[in-house]
Chain A
C-alpha cells in the first residue's frame, strides 16, 4: 500500500522559534497533499491543501504567513510553523493522494504518522 512518512515524529521547541515538518510519499507521486491539525480529544482540522507546484489553499482562520507550506515536488511537502507559540502545540498530520484536488477521480488519502509539536 501507499506509504507516507513524516519527520520529525515529535519536536519540542522554545517559543518564538520556527519548526519545519516534512511529509513524504514514499512509493507514489502525491499530486495533492493535505495538512491537518488535531488538538487533544478533538477531530482533525484541515489547515491547507496543496497541489504540487502551486500555492497552497488555506482554510479560513489559518494564517498563511504563520504556517508556510511548500509542495515543491511530487513526493515532498513541508509545513513550517514560524514564530511558534504554546498555543501552536498540537498533533500535525499530513496526508497525500495521487489525484488533483477537485478532479473527478477521487482517491483515498494516505496519512503520515503525525508530528507532535510542543512549544514551551
Chain B
C-alpha cells in the first residue's frame, strides 16, 4: 500500500529552527510537495522536490532523498505565524497526490 508518515505534532520556540520529517512508500514517485495549512483554511504551497538535494526558499528549505524515501522541511527563524499544520504529499506514478496526515507545529514565545 501507499503510505506517508510524518510526526503528529511538534513544538518549537520563536526564533529557533525546526525540522519536520516525512517518509514515504508509494507506487512510483513524481515529486514531493510540502504545504502549509492554517486552521480552517486551505493548504498553501511551500515547496516541490523531484531531485535529491536541498531546495532553499527564504526561511524555508526542503530536502529530498529518493533512495531513502525521505524528506524534511526546515523552518528557520521561527515566527508565531508559522504555527500551522505542515502537510507532506507525494505524487505517485499516476501523478496522484498521496497526502500525509500533517504535522501540527506549535510555536511558543
Partners in one complex: yes
User: Which residues of A come within 8 Å of B, CB atoms?
Assistant: 34, 42-46, 49, 91, 93, 101-103, 106, 108-114, 116
Residue of A nearest to B98 (CB): A46
- A44 engages B95 (CB within 8 Å): no
- A46 engages B40 (CB within 8 Å): no
Residue of B nearest to A111 (CB): B42
Interface of B is mostly: loop
Contact with A along B68-109 (1 / 0, CB 8 A): 000000000000000000010001001111011110000000
Residue of B nearest to A97 (CB): B95
- 4 A-B pairs closest in CB distance: A111-B42, A43-B101, A114-B42, A44-B99
Most buried by A among B33, B48, B96: B96
Complex contacts, A34 vs chain B, CB 8 Å: 97
> Given A43-B101, A43-B102, A44-B87, does the pair A102, B42 have CB atoms closer than 8 Å?
no
Interface of A is mostly: loop
Complex contacts, B33 vs chain A, CB 8 Å: 108
> Given A43-B102, A44-B87, does the pair A111, B44 have CB atoms closer than 8 Å?
yes
Residue of B nearest to A6 (CB): B42
Within 8 A of A (CB), among B24-52: 30-31, 33, 35, 40-45, 48
- B94 engages A102 (CB within 8 Å): yes
- A49 engages B96 (CB within 8 Å): yes
Q: Out of A42, A103, A109, A113, name the residue touching B97 (CB < 8 Å).
A: A109
Residue of B nearest to A109 (CB): B97
Q: In the bound complex, how far is the Cα of B102 from the Cα of A46, in angstroms?
A: 15
Provide 19 A-B residue pairs closer than 8 Å at the C-beta atoms, listed in order of the A residue. Answer: A43-B100, A45-B99, A101-B94, A102-B95, A103-B95, A106-B30, A106-B31, A106-B95, A108-B45, A109-B45, A109-B97, A111-B35, A111-B42, A111-B43, A111-B44, A111-B45, A113-B41, A113-B42, A116-B40
Complex contacts, B97 vs chain A, CB 8 Å: 34, 46, 109
Complex contacts, A108 vs chain B, CB 8 Å: 33, 45, 48
Residue of B nearest to A2 (CB): B45
